[in-house]
Structure 1
Amino acid sequence: MSKNRGKEGRDDYLFGEVFMQRKIKEAVFDMSFLLERGYGESSSCELVGSRYKLNKRQQQAIKGMSASETAVVHREKTKIPVENLEGTTLIIDGFNQLILLESILSEAYVFKGRDGAYRDLSNLYGTYKSVRQTEKAIEVFAEFFKKYSVLKVVWVFDAPVSNSGRMKTKLTEYANEKGYNWEVIQENNPDKFIVKSNFIGVSSDAWVLDKTKSWTNIIDVLIPENYPFLITC
């Protein structure tokens, strides 16, 4: 089992004081402006990254934080407050949210976007590996669902990703043991599956947030207060 999803070796330098004070707000503003004008995400990020001399990891961070004003307004309009989740069914973007919470529990850098959603810098590369924080992350989610009286939880995982079947088994056994009303499924395209459902989506994927009928921001409640590795714009 991997140690954790914590910071990489140069992250303190890459996202330290200079990045925070001199680059990030301007870079996110510029990229968001380009997105609002209809420029593509990749080309906008490349242009802004070149201007501010950002490496690939820094560019990934500002990409997660940037959003057009139109997108920000839409996502805010469709967001359901966690206080209103009693008796509802949530459909979870499984790896997206699980890895994000694992990263927080590992004290990795996390980035809060203009839309209020949180993103990390982890990449699956076709394979998911549990880490030391996986069990704790599942427990934290379970406590949240119980606290806010969620009726049912549907976890959706990428079927093509290696070990997604193991995660399905892990969550199913955990739910059965605890008596939780969880359904765990694998889909070839979980994003489209989530968007087509009538349930409240839980994801930080921009495409999902733009297409889903409604969503809720669980991580906003679960992230520790004064989390030292949270970067905001």
Structure 2
Amino acid sequence: MEIAKDLWEAAEDLRYLLNRGYPRDASLQLVGNHYNLDHDYRHLLRRGVFPASLVEERERKRVPVGELRGEGLAVDGYNCIITLESALKGKTIVLADDGFVRDISGVSGGYRETPETTKALGLIMAFLQSAGPAEALFLLDSPIRGSGELAARIRTLMKEHGIQGDASAIKVPERIMAGYRGIIASSDTAVIDQSERVFDLAGHLIAEHLRIPSIIEIKKQ
């Protein structure tokens, strides 16, 4: 994705408005229209730019990789898998103001497994083996087609790698994550905001193992 210089100015303007309490959607529309940004750029701003108050709160919740050992880990399945797959495909990834890594693919409900799914799951399993959480609970959105089959595949991989835990396809994973006492692996803003401790699983793997050139650090240095 070729980045126009206007994007950085647009990000600064949006950040300015958000820090002064202006509504997010209206601010995004105003800034996007002012700079004549296309859909991808607008989505990148939505995924990457936040007010300082939210940034501070989310940074407080982030846990380093070393804290995973011996802890329970609930994995926001599609969030982590889709972000990793996007990186493996060379699609644009954004390192947001709040320090979390996000994709801008917009796949979500239309997700289908691809050849990159196997690679993404392999990276996750190898990481979990090394990080040593007490358990890993993969949560997948059951309304997404193929979720049951993917959960079964993950359970098989976990058994092969000696990882304790489970993988389930349920209607509203967010409800389970909201009551989970361990650490949540996700970069989804709604999930982060309802959680106490969060680990950016996909972001960690992208930074440590993929080192892709298509990651955009939206915050101006």
- Indicate if the aligned counterparts of 1:88 and 1:152 stay in contact, CA closer than 8 A: yes
- Indicate if the aligned counterparts of 1:128 and 1:164 stay in contact, CA closer than 8 A: no
Matched, 1:198 2:181: yes
TM-score, normalized by length of structure 2? 0.90
The equivalent of 2:217 in structure 1 is 232
Q: Write the distance in 1 (CA, Å) between the matches of 2:80 and 2:125.
A: 13
Q: 1:125 to 1:175 in 2, by over 3 A?
A: closer
Q: Write the distance in 1 (CA, Å) between the matches of 2:186 and 2:24.
A: 19
1:50-82 C-alpha deviation (Å, 9 max, x unpaired): 111111111001111111101110111111111
The equivalent of 1:151 in structure 2 is 134
Matched, 1:63 2:46: yes
Shift of 1:164: 1.0
User: After the TM superposition, which residues 110-125 of structure 1 pair with which residues of structure 2 at under 5 Å, given as runs?
Assistant: 110-124=93-107
Matched, 1:178 2:156: no
Q: Write the distance in 2 (CA, Å) between the matches of 1:202 and 1:25.
A: 29
Shift of 1:165: 1.1
How large is the RMSD of aligned CA atoms in angstroms?
Answer: 1.7
User: After the TM superposition, which residues 2-13 of structure 1 pair with which residues of structure 2 at under 5 Å, given as runs?
Assistant: 12=1
TM-score, normalized by length of structure 1? 0.86
Shift of 1:116: 0.8
Shift of 1:42: 2.3
> What secondary structure, in the 3-state scheme, does the structure 2 residue paired with 1:161 have?
coil
Q: Percent identity?
A: 27
Q: Write the distance in 1 (CA, Å) between the matches of 2:48 and 2:77.
A: 21
Matched, 1:96 2:79: yes
> What secondary structure, in the 3-state scheme, does the structure 1 residue paired with 2:163 have?
coil
Q: Write the distance in 2 (CA, Å) between the matches of 1:225 and 1:100.
A: 12
Q: Write the distance in 2 (CA, Å) between the matches of 1:160 and 1:41.
A: 28
> What secondary structure, in the 3-state scheme, does the structure 1 residue paired with 2:198 have?
coil
The equivalent of 2:199 in structure 1 is 216
> What secondary structure, in the 3-state scheme, does the structure 1 residue paired with 2:115 have?
coil
Unmatched runs of 5 consecutive residues or more in structure 2:
none
> What secondary structure, in the 3-state scheme, does the structure 2 residue paired with 1:160 have?
coil
1:125-160 C-alpha deviation (Å, 9 max, x unpaired): 633211111111111011111212222111111111
In structure 2, give the amino acid aligned to 1:180.
Answer: I
- Indicate if the aligned counterparts of 2:125 and 2:157 stay in contact, CA closer than 8 A: no
Matched, 1:141 2:158: no
- Indicate if the aligned counterparts of 1:89 and 1:199 stay in contact, CA closer than 8 A: yes
Matched, 1:43 2:26: yes
